[in-house]
Amino acid sequence: MTKVTEAREFTRSPVRIRAEIRLASGVLVEGQARNVSLNGLLFATERALPIGHEVRVSLILDTGTCEHRIETAGHVARVEDQGVAIAFRHVNAECLEHLRQLVLYNAENAERVEEEFASHVGLHRKGG
């Protein structure tokens, strides 16, 4: 049997984080992020979300003593059995750093995540 390897541009890190998705209509959908990357997440929810719709995403990091939110804009990219895939469209600089740290902390290969971040955000030049 041949193993099929997915060719993903960004590493997905498994997480179990409370998340809120707000549709352009104002409807708020609550659920849980199951995995996250630098360009999107898999959102587990009971609700169906329409593919292509613009959304606002809040990942809620709760340490017990304080709550921090990673806020981003995106769109519903696809619907799977496991949940709804949200592709990020815009992440401000502060939230991008928090997102990077979240992905790094949960990644199997942190070095690869750093390379993805550097090549896509442009913080480092390749080969330099």
> Which tokens belong to 92?
């401000």
Q: What is the DSSP letter of 75?
A: E
CB distance 117 to 123 below 8 Å: yes
pLDDT of residue 123: 46
Q: What is the DSSP letter of 105?
A: H
Does some domain include residue 26? yes
The whole-number average pLDDT for the span 36-56 is 93
Does some domain include residue 46? yes
pLDDT at 53 over 80: yes
Does some domain include residue 20? yes
Report the number of distinct structural domains present in the chain. Answer: 1
CA 11/CA 90 separation, integer angstroms = 18
Does some domain include residue 76? yes
Does some domain include residue 3? no
pLDDT at 75 over 70: yes
CA 110/CA 103 separation, integer angstroms = 8
The continuous run of DSSP H or E covering 41 comes out as strand 40-44
- The model's pTM: 0.82
Query: Which CATH number characterizes residue 63's domain?
Result: 2.40.10.220
Q: Which domain holds residue 95?
A: 13-121
Does some domain include residue 69? yes
Does some domain include residue 127? no
Does some domain include residue 51? yes
**Amino acid residing at 12:** R
